[in-house]
Structure 1
Amino acid sequence: MIKSKCIVVAFDFGTACSGYAFAYTKDSSKTIFVQEKWGGIDANCIKTLSQIVLNDKNEGVAFGYEARDYFNNNPDVEPETRPYFAFFKMHLFDKKNRGQPVKALNCNKTATAQQLISETLKFLKNSALTKLNSSSASSIKVQDIQWVITIPAIWDDSAKQIMRVCADMAGLCSKDDRESLVFVYEPEAGALQCIYERTSGYNVSNGEKFLVMDNGGGTADFIAYQQVEGKKLNAISKSFGGDFGSIYVNANFYQFLENIFGKDLVKSRKDHPQFQFLLDKFESLKRTFNTSSGNGSKPLDLSLSVFGQDEAWMTSKINAYNQQYHTDIKYYSKRDKLMVPHSLFLSFFTPLFNSITDCVKKEIRENPLLKNLNYIFLIGGFNENSFIQEHIKKELEFTGAKFIISKSPVLAVVQGAARFGLNPDTVLKRLQTRSYAIEIEELVKPGMHPGKKLLKRRGVQYCPNVCDVLVSAGQMVGYDEVFTRSYVPISPDQKSVEISIFSSHIPKIQYTTDPGVQFIGELYVSLPDTSEKLEDRRINVSMKFASTEVEVSAVHEKTGASMCASFDFAIDEAESLKRNILHQEKNRLKVQLCVMMDCTGSMGTWMNESKTKMINLTHLLGQTYSGMELNVSFIGYRDIKDVKRFEIVPFTKDIMGLQTRIGQMVADGGDDFAEDIAGALNQAYNLSWGYDSVKLIVHVADAPCHGSKYYNFNVVDREVDEYPGGDPSGLIPERILKNISSKGIDYYFIKINGHTDKMIEIFRNAIDTPQKKIVVQDLGADVSQLLPSLVNFVTNSITRFSENIN
């Protein structure tokens, strides 16, 4: 907690209901205050409904019970102008569809989950500020408060990220002030409250283990802990559970009504005041229902006015349902009562209860640390129901644990969340639900990476796409614990390092290309000084598990230059798949081909070939290298004094567009015989070359560069070479070629006649090595071989790149 904060305010934003609690940081008694009165019809409820009405700007105009009753209190308002939403928190649990908009319950309008949640948090924030300032002598502002929001422990990183974005939109925190908001897992908060209560029935001792079962409106959320020295907690299980919340009992009841009275009719009447009264009655029965409450029927208030039909219609519908489902529902019109048999009422609950206890049994079987539990704490609004209490005790009796029901199950989470805000390090260690790794190229040792395609860099073999795992799923991680790895760049000419982070629910991950391994984000760290040794350019990457969230930073060890980030996780499964594909495309084979061609008058036929055949290059290469990314540049050069000395098309994937640009060029110029090859090579050197690409220049020319040493005939006049001493600006072609070669760029030459022989001989003497020599293709006047030669050159460079002989 930030020391400057004077108050902790905790929000328990639930699927069905929401509330908040607060505590003063300087209060030695650590008293937790709860907002227990809310507006609307049910003004004395200790929580309000997680329901909201928006205006046409997607701003909240009513929340909670006031939202539910908004249209009853404002009968002249058109539903289309005030969309009404409920249960939208569950949208974040839906990994497949949470990127989709949420449909209003009363019209066809939609809103994003972010809009709905941020407006909800605004209402809670404003209510808390009003409450605090009504009893404070001094003005309480947002920045004075340490905010805490409860979240399900079974949420993934994407859901947590969305919640933080929503909190930012609601004005609780910002990107520059992340510490003003912390998340706490719902069962974790409940555990803190249960331990604090310590009734006469229990007193958790050091070394004792307990399971927290948080059964709420939308989800059932479970974690087990062991108490250690100082009344601190260590998690001994990962979070587990599922969408087994009490709203699904309501859904079963709603389905029951649709089966009796018809789906369309129920839908058309769901906003009727009497229908809302019926749902309230069911909610009341749901909370008090238990298996020992008798085998008689349960009365539900159901007025004929709800459906606008007469008694005969009602009776016929009920008789038809009884006959189809073999039940004995009765309707008493004089009392407006629908009598539901005990067994039928029980069926609304049983499937969910079985899901809850089956889930816990499975975890106990698979996790040896959950043997010999001392306590099972029951928290959450759903656990106020005595039926679920009886069911859990019966089904989990074999554990030998003592069952403890919180003094107020519905408030245990929000009260515990406030306590967490006062002491966020109460939970010392948590078990990670996911593995996190950095993608690296690993030095290959004997017996490693069998069957994998390897790379050779500077004569050494490496395996790409390897996971360097920082944290594994199931690993114990301390509060704010930091994990660090150290790396050096893979290439001497890298100007930046791209750090790619992957995640998986699988404990042991080996390759980033394996199923279930997801690309989740990346960091870039600049490396401006390419003259340093690789070891001096070392990068330290750290991953911090700040309470419930993941933060990553990278530091250039020598300069201290750093980059920090909280990841932008994919919002849903479709986005995650898209990102994985895009990352794989970034890492696929990339080829950069620069065609450098003399564009003076004598080269007209060669330019025409480029104008018409370049588009075929992608097709021909694609037959051999599926998925290859080809970028082509064209540098047309003439002579130093020509008006259009150079015509340059930068690297582009649009080969048709490149061909069109070349088609607009005209072969002309070049008053003397020698041409500006030195200038053209300098232009090629300064193109945007990637360090991880196959790189090559294909030079097509019928004349040498300036400088008498580059040709075999005597200079008799200026028509042969206006600059016999070489380039007037001091450019020396072989020096530029050395720089080009040092970048890993291959240089190829297409020979048309013998005028360039001596120039190529000088070039070879300057840059040829035993492993890498200039390749010259003598085509003479056969322009039809230009395209096949380009394909052969690219193939040769790809082979060289794969072997990585530098």
Structure 2
Amino acid sequence: MSKSNDYRVVIGIDFGTTYSGFAYAHKKNPSDITVHIDWQEYTGRFKTPTALSYDVEYQNVQSWGFPALAKRPKRKKESERKPVELFKLHLGKMKDKPALPEGFDYKKAITDYFRELGKVIKKSIAEKWDINFFTQTLIVLTIPAEFDDKAMTIMRECVYSAGLLKDRYSRNLKFTTEPEAAAVHCMKSLIEHNLPIGASFMVVDCGGGTVDLTTRQLLDGERLSEITVRNGDYCGGSYVDQEFLRFLERRVGSNAIKLVKENHYGQLQFMVQEFVRMVKMKFTGDPSGFEDTDLELDEMCPILKQYCRGDYLSHMEDVDWNVKLRFKDVRAMFDPIIDKILRLIHEQLRMNKNCSALILVGGFSESKYLQSRIKKEFSSKVKLISIPPQPVTSIIKGAVQYGLREEVVFSRVLKWTYGTDITRRWRQGDPLNRRRPDDRIVVFEKLAERGKQMPVDAKVTRTFHPFHRQQVKMGLDLFVTTQENTKFCDEPSSKLLGKFSVDLPPNGDRSVLYEMVFGAVEIEVNARNSNREFDPQRYDLDL
């Protein structure tokens, strides 16, 4: 297994819900960060769509990125294959995940996408430096704040299967959260704004699918400390696009939009992108500067005529397939999404009332209406509200900067409570149904608590003793929970991270020292008896 400190080049990858990109820099020239902008025939773009087009059996990738999505539609009636997209959302905990082709595994899409992206990454690195990609590069992969350890494990497996790692558990892949990467990138600009050491600031990462928030504190030596639990939700810019489609459903019928999406997705996608270009990115929320926009649906999506029926068809023929977007219509598409973002910011401010600055990053943060709503809501509560130049690149660049100087992150706030299962004597008040024949009960023993600020590489230790002389093994399974008062390891809020045990000697010191080391993103667990121990166990975790 290669060591991450052998690397020469750091590659930051922002695997987004709707768009993805990467950047890189050499350790000898860390300030020279290159953001890749040459995406097949599309140049000058910081990111490419997170989309794949497959063959009929959904086995082989035909195209990816920009070519996988539609160009201007032609007037034809044959069906078009729908690209596979939004598959990143299957890693999260949202209830209504986007539909994928029947029998298609989202992990295949993630692996295939990283394989195609990896080809571009390897080619870009090879053109600049003569290095061994597998041993001399460090990949820093950004993830949403709400991803848990399972999502990270799947991501690592997919990156390995895609051929970007030589070893499944290689230290040449590290994770950081998207808002943390943005915080690292924005730190210097905040210092330039005279934010003093000790001041706290919030990063609001508004992407295409998710919005993630974290609050950090500036420390000496250009370092950061996390001071609140991260939060986020599914309320990124793509949800405005979904509201636009709901608006169209009220004009042409939900069934018509459904059938176009299933059979002619390219035309639907083109229509959405025209809305983004003509309306979404220009909308400021100021009615005085807004002009009604006419959408010629027979030009933007000609196949709609084939599926529109009944009163919807009669009405559309009466208006010659012209739909007018008025100010109130567009604002109604934005407001439900922005209202969610405002609530998330309020939640962060309740956890830290002394926030000195608020930084907006991510593609959706370029929305003038979103910016104005946030400034109106929070300018009296937060001194500085800032949008850095090219906010869409903040996360990619921050990932590279983090990889070049991991010590920039001094501490994180635990998102989970960690514990193990221990056996103790049954007490009055304990559940009778959990009382064992030997008058004992198995309970959750807290080791580290959610919301606690934990310095990087900090250790938590605990000594455990066997409960009877005949015991030859001690089980030390690791559990996590989001609840404050978890009593038992099998509660719905608890989940098992790892099972392992330590052999106990027959005589002498039979106690076991249990140690958790909270690394940057991984946790290393050690347990040892004075005579015996098990190999250290490492877990990729959303701390």
- Is 1:350 the counterpart of 2:335? The answer is yes
Equivalences for residues 140-219 of structure 1 within 5 A? 140-173=132-165, 177-198=169-190, 202-219=193-210
Aligned in 2, Cα 1:347/1:78: closer, same or farther, shift over 3 Å?
A: closer
Equivalences for residues 233-312 of structure 1 within 5 A? 233-270=224-261, 271=264, 274-284=267-277, 285-292=279-286, 294-304=289-299, 306-308=301-303
Deviation at 1:44, TM superposition (A): 3.1
d(CA) in 2 for partners of 1:512 and 1:48?
43
What residue number does 1:555 align with? 528
What residue number does 2:21 align with? 19
Q: Give the greater-gyration-radius structure (CA).
A: 1
Work out which of the residue numbers 507, 527, 530 in structure 2 matches 1:532: 507
TM-score (norm. length: structure 1): 0.61
Aligned in 2, Cα 1:482/1:167: closer, same or farther, shift over 3 Å?
A: farther
Cα RMSD for the two superposed structures: 3.3
**SS of alignment partner, residue 167 of structure 1:** helix
- Is 1:111 the counterpart of 2:104? The answer is yes
d(CA) in 2 for partners of 1:403 and 1:468?
43
Contact 1:172–1:181 (8 Å) recurs in 2:
no
What residue number does 1:592 align with? none
Give the length in aligned residue pairs: 531
Contact 1:50–1:87 (8 Å) recurs in 2:
yes
For 2:340, the aligned partner's letter is S
What residue number does 2:217 align with? 226
Contact 1:62–1:70 (8 Å) recurs in 2:
no
Aligned in 2, Cα 1:88/1:37: closer, same or farther, shift over 3 Å?
A: same
Contact 2:11–2:138 (8 Å) recurs in 1:
yes
What residue number does 1:46 align with? 46
The higher-RCO structure (CA 8 Å, 6+ apart) is: 2
What residue number does 1:359 align with? 344
Contact 2:25–2:32 (8 Å) recurs in 1:
yes
**SS of alignment partner, residue 439 of structure 1:** strand
Deviation at 1:13, TM superposition (A): 0.5
d(CA) in 1 for partners of 2:453 and 2:541?
24
**SS of alignment partner, residue 398 of structure 1:** coil
**SS of alignment partner, residue 388 of structure 1:** helix
Aligned in 2, Cα 1:309/1:566: closer, same or farther, shift over 3 Å?
A: closer
d(CA) in 2 for partners of 1:197 and 1:374?
14
What are the Cα deviations for residues 333-356 of structure 1, in whole angstroms up to 9, with x where unaligned? 7xxx64211110111100010111
TM-score (norm. length: structure 2): 0.88
What residue number does 1:542 align with? 515
What residue number does 1:792 align with? none
What residue number does 2:5 align with? 3
What residue number does 1:476 align with? 453
d(CA) in 2 for partners of 1:548 and 1:71?
44
What residue number does 2:68 align with? 67
Deviation at 1:115, TM superposition (A): 1.2
What are the Cα deviations for residues 27-51 of structure 1, in whole angstroms up to 9, with x where unaligned? 1x522110023125x5432210000
Q: Percent identity?
A: 24
Deviation at 1:364, TM superposition (A): 2.2
For 1:88, the aligned partner's letter is F
Work out which of the residue numbers 472, 493, 496 in structure 2 matches 1:516: 493
Contact 2:271–2:300 (8 Å) recurs in 1:
no
What residue number does 1:491 align with? 468
d(CA) in 1 for partners of 2:487 and 2:96?
29
d(CA) in 1 for partners of 2:247 and 2:78?
30
d(CA) in 2 for partners of 1:568 and 1:227?
24
Deviation at 1:434, TM superposition (A): 0.9
What residue number does 1:765 align with? none
Deviation at 1:392, TM superposition (A): 0.7
Deviation at 1:421, TM superposition (A): 0.7
Aligned in 2, Cα 1:559/1:465: closer, same or farther, shift over 3 Å?
A: closer
Structure 1: gaps (5+ residues)? 322-328, 570-806
What are the Cα deviations for residues 707-757 of structure 1, in whole angstroms up to 9, with x where unaligned? xxxxxxxxxxxxxxxxxxxxxxxxxxxxxxxxxxxxxxxxxxxxxxxxxxx
**SS of alignment partner, residue 248 of structure 2:** helix
What are the Cα deviations for residues 662-681 of structure 1, in whole angstroms up to 9, with x where unaligned? xxxxxxxxxxxxxxxxxxxx
Aligned in 2, Cα 1:268/1:355: closer, same or farther, shift over 3 Å?
A: same
d(CA) in 2 for partners of 1:435 and 1:38?
42
Equivalences for residues 361-760 of structure 1 within 5 A? 361-365=346-350, 367=351, 370-442=352-424, 450-452=429-431, 463-514=440-491, 516-527=493-504, 529=505, 531-533=506-508, 536-566=509-539
Aligned in 2, Cα 1:295/1:319: closer, same or farther, shift over 3 Å?
A: farther
For 1:280, the aligned partner's letter is Q
**SS of alignment partner, residue 519 of structure 1:** strand
Deviation at 1:132, TM superposition (A): 1.6
d(CA) in 1 for partners of 2:270 and 2:418?
50
